[in-house]
Amino acid sequence: MGRLICISNRIPTGANPSGGLVVALGDVLEETGGIWIGTSGEIAEKPAAELREIEGGPFRRYCFDLTQEEQDNYYAGYSNSVLWPLFHGRADLMDIHHLYLGVYKQVNRRIAKLVAPFLKPDDRIWVQDYHLLPLAYELRLMGATNPIGFFLHTPFPGPTAMQALPNGREVCQWIANYDLVGLQAERDVRACLHSMIEIAGASDLGAGYVHLSPRQCRIAAFPISIDAREFQDLAEAEFENLPAGIVKDHRRLVIGVDRLDYSKGVPHRFRAFGEFLERHEDWHRHVSLLQISPPTREGVQAYDDIREETEHLSGRINGQFADIQWVPIRFINRAVPREVLAGLYRASHVALVTPLMDGMNLVAKEFIAAQNPDDPGVLMLSQFAGAAEQMDAALMVNPHDPEQVATSMLTALMMSRGERRERYRSLMEGLTTYDVHWWSKSFLDALG
Ligand code: ADP
């Protein structure tokens, strides 16, 4: 079998690289003598002229540095201030600058130049995420004929949204240079096919195949996941280590865990929780919301705005409802260690996973994997998370409708143990069958 060459924006660093993708790809990289390539996270004075090997670890890793200008325009600019909002249904938040696009293309061209000398004819290349959309196009220009796959971790926009992007047609043309494009959900596959056909004039060959001269490309859904068994064991062990105050607390704990990103719908969630408290005075003091949200992409205006809005809302709701013995919302603006998170999920009665738009949402999967099978908590899941296509035994909600979310919250808090167990069993069965190992294997099998 040929080597796997994985290319992502950030390389997993450290002597023992970790994270979902490492779990998914580590074994294949090790078995095939493969290589992972990505940016180091450090800033250099000059654009990188060569790749640098990272010592140690179970598989080979090569990295390069970005300059400050590249970081600002390729990463914070085109990737996170243009593509991210557009792909999450927020074209209104796009910050279009032609410099962003120019540097984005330049960086991708340079990555292709750095990678091309490493390639052997039978290598399979797997490119990760929206930072690297043009990479196959650039590698093809340099003569690469290898199978090249792409996985997009975000949603994909349909033609109406794509029209708002000045170079939407070019984005579709980049995509056509991959042999296989993996998306999170069937809704994304439909949107991508429509965009390829309507915006770029690709011809529909059926069964997810499109032709855009001179190439043919397959678009299919490969929903990403977690290692559910591993997370279950972690949660079971870590539950014992939680501070006594949390476990002994007889209040019902509702948990929310999200980067503080506008796509996650945290303000909507707070309003819905406020609506619930407004309606159900009998639940005052008996329920509290623990929202754990580390700040992300600080310095970008839309992220500064969401931080201010959530701080304001939690302050207002606490001011309105709290009493000397009870604070309705605990809002923590910090990352917490993975194992603590696992224990907290298990200690929670309800999870509010209510993004306005999300590629997959792994928090939903982690919450379910962490539950005690005998007495599991209830997952309230937005219909706009990619996870909703797989996790239909969750309590499905529309995050835009605070009254519906409040009604569902009562249903979740009052749900019988029998029903909770039934829903949990169905969800956990899906998670253990279609776990992260299934994800990488099925994608790589399809890439051939
Ligand atoms: P996204 O990739 O958009 O952030 P996902 O839900 O798919 O959303 O993945 C988020 C990952 O980040 C999960 O593995 C989750 O456990 C982790 N995470 C989110 N918030 C926190 C936090 N406050 N502390 C630690 N980890 C977090």
Closest CA to 218 of 150, 156, 265: 150
- Closest C-alpha to ligand 1, atom 9: 362
For the Cβ of 332 lying below 6 angstroms from any atom of ligand 1, the answer is no
For the Cβ of 335 lying below 6 angstroms from any atom of ligand 1, the answer is yes
- How confident is the model at residue 358, as a pLDDT? 98
Number of C-alpha atoms within 13 angstroms, CB side, residue 387?
A: 32
Instruction: Give the chain's radius of gyration (CA, Å).
Output: 22
Could you tell me the residue range of the domain that residue 71 belongs to?
4-225+436-447
Partnered with residue 343 across adjacent β-strands are none
pLDDT digits 0-9 by tens, 246-303: 776 668 999 999 999 999 999 999 999 999 999 999 999 999 999 999 999 888 899 9
Q: What is the CATH number of the domain that holds 347?
A: 3.40.50.2000
* This model's pTM is above 0.80: yes
pLDDT-based confidence at residue 33 (cuts at 50, 70, 90): very high
Which pair of tokens denotes residue 337? 């260690």
**Over residues 295-314, mean pLDDT:** 93
Average pLDDT, the chain: 96
C-alpha 263 – ligand 1 centre gap (Å): 13
Catalytic residues: 153, 358
**Over residues 20-42, mean pLDDT:** 92
The answer on 246 and 214 residing in a single domain is no
- Closest C-alpha to ligand 1, atom 4: 259
Q: Residues 366, 343: contact at Cβ < 8 Å?
A: no
**Over residues 362-372, mean pLDDT:** 98
Q: Which residue has the tokens 């299934």?
A: 438
The answer on 357 and 258 residing in a single domain is yes
pLDDT digits 0-9 by tens, 132-191: 999 999 999 999 999 999 999 999 999 999 999 999 999 999 999 999 999 999 999 999
pLDDT digits 0-9 by tens, 330-347: 999 999 999 999 999 999
How far is the C-alpha of 177 from the C-alpha of 212, rounded, in Å? 9
Mutate to test the pocket of ligand 1, among 297, 341, 431 (most ligand atoms within 8 A of CB): 341
335 CA closest ligand 1 atom index: 24
How far is the C-alpha of 174 from the C-alpha of 171, rounded, in Å? 5
- How confident is the model at residue 145, as a pLDDT? 97
For the Cβ of 360 lying below 6 angstroms from any atom of ligand 1, the answer is yes
**Over residues 41-62, mean pLDDT:** 94
Which one is predicted more confidently, 94 or 27? 94
Neighbours of 425 (CB within 10 A): 12
The answer on 32 and 159 residing in a single domain is yes
How far is the C-alpha of 208 from the C-alpha of 202, rounded, in Å? 12
Task: Report helix, strand or coil for 379.
Answer: strand
- How confident is the model at residue 249, as a pLDDT? 67
Amino acid at 400: H
- How confident is the model at residue 244, as a pLDDT? 79
Q: Order of strands across the sheet with 395-397?
A: 329-332, 287-292, 252-257, 350-353, 378-382, 395-397
The answer on 232 and 178 residing in a single domain is no
The answer on 397 and 297 residing in a single domain is yes
For the Cβ of 19 lying below 6 angstroms from any atom of ligand 1, the answer is no
The answer on 31 and 79 residing in a single domain is yes
The pLDDT of residue 216 is above 80? yes
**Over residues 398-409, mean pLDDT:** 98
**DSSP type of residue 77:** I
The pLDDT of residue 113 is above 80? yes
Rounded percentage of the chain residues whose pLDDT exceeds 90: 92
263 CA closest ligand 1 atom index: 3
Q: Which residue has the tokens 């003598």?
A: 33
Angle at the Cα of 429 (from 423 to 430), degrees rounded to 5? Answer: 95
The answer on 267 and 367 residing in a single domain is yes
**Over residues 52-64, mean pLDDT:** 94
The answer on 232 and 219 residing in a single domain is no
The mean-pLDDT minimum among 68-82, 241-255, 366-380 falls in: 241-255
- How confident is the model at residue 251, as a pLDDT? 85
Q: How many domains in the chain?
A: 2
The answer on 54 and 41 residing in a single domain is yes
332 CA closest ligand 1 atom index: 23
The answer on 443 and 318 residing in a single domain is no
C-alpha 48 – ligand 1 centre gap (Å): 30
For the Cβ of 361 lying below 6 angstroms from any atom of ligand 1, the answer is yes
Task: Report helix, strand or coil for 253.
Answer: strand
The answer on 290 and 197 residing in a single domain is no
Q: Residues 34, 59: contact at Cβ < 8 Å?
A: yes
The answer on 370 and 268 residing in a single domain is yes
For the Cβ of 362 lying below 6 angstroms from any atom of ligand 1, the answer is yes
**Over residues 91-107, mean pLDDT:** 98
For the Cβ of 366 lying below 6 angstroms from any atom of ligand 1, the answer is yes
Question: Of how many residues is the chain composed?
Answer: 448
